[in-house]
Amino acid sequence: MTLNGWHRLFLVVSVLWSLLVVAVAVLDLPTSASLRRDWIFDELDPATCQRIEGCTGFGVEPAKVERIDIKFRAGSAPEAEQRQVRGINGTLYVVPKKLTDAEIAALLTKDGLTATGSQPLFLDVPVPVLISVGGHDLDVTPDETDRDGSLTATAFADAAQKALTTRRAEYAGATTTVVLAPLVLIYAFGYSVASVRRWSRAGRPTRPPY
């Protein structure tokens, strides 16, 4: 089949447009480091999510970020001599290590930060460790099931891979739409113009042979 001039032009434009869109898409292809945190958090189980600061995945309440420093009430202390405790209201407090549990409890109760008579008034909180996974820096709070943060790092890497697969599939679909939609519109326009021209020619009266 021989292509007419319009079809040859459309074929050239289609190839050039497709190559341009694909080239831009490849350069902007989603990577693990470019993924939004909340996309990855949605793939994490609640137990892992709770160990990561700022994680608000499905079914996980946002971690309390309020942090009250009560050093000024008991004398200042360098960072190496501080400890973190979590009150029964979930808030983190920074206190000097030299304070006894009774003194800390008395301070929290005195300032209305915990309910009088409630036990325990506070719990020691491990200091978060910084872990880098796939271009993401995470503040991970160790617990009994993950003392060094390695399990959390592995779970985060797996979740990032799942999120990346999902986003790349969506990206491929969007790229295909960007390639095809303009070409379909252009072809439909050209076909319409050609049809109108054919109909106009068919409707013209023929001239007599004299």
Domain ranges of the chain: 61-127
pLDDT confidence of residue 109: 64
First to last CA, the chain: 38
pLDDT confidence of residue 20: 94
Contact 167, 30 (CB under 8 A): yes
Most confident of 66-70, 106-110, 121-125: 106-110
What global pTM score does this model have? Answer: 0.60
CA dihedral 17, 21, 24, 26 (to 10 degrees): -130
**Segment 125-165, tens digit of pLDDT:** 566 778 888 889 888 877 777 777 888 889 999 999 999 99
Q: What is the mean pLDDT of residues 52-76?
A: 54
pLDDT confidence of residue 180: 93
**Segment 111-129, tens digit of pLDDT:** 555 544 444 445 555 667 7
pLDDT confidence of residue 195: 81
Least confident of 26-30, 33-37, 169-173, 192-196: 192-196
pLDDT confidence of residue 116: 45
Q: What is the mean pLDDT of residues 81-96?
A: 67
What count of other Cβ atoms lies within 10 Å of the Cβ of residue 180?
Answer: 14
pLDDT confidence of residue 184: 92
pLDDT confidence of residue 160: 92
Residue ranges of alpha helices (H) inside 32-78 are: 37-41, 46-49
pLDDT confidence of residue 38: 86
pLDDT confidence of residue 101: 72
Contacts of 24 by beta carbon, 8 Å cutoff, 6+ apart? none
d(CA 39, CA 21) in angstroms, rounded, equals: 25
**Segment 1-10, tens digit of pLDDT:** 566 777 888 8
d(CA 64, CA 37) in angstroms, rounded, equals: 18
In this model, does residue 181 exceed pLDDT 90?
yes
Q: What is the mean pLDDT of residues 73-79?
A: 51
d(CA 60, CA 47) in angstroms, rounded, equals: 9
In this model, does residue 58 exceed pLDDT 80?
no
d(CA 171, CA 68) in angstroms, rounded, equals: 43
3-state secondary structure of 159: helix
Least confident of 16-20, 94-98, 118-122: 118-122
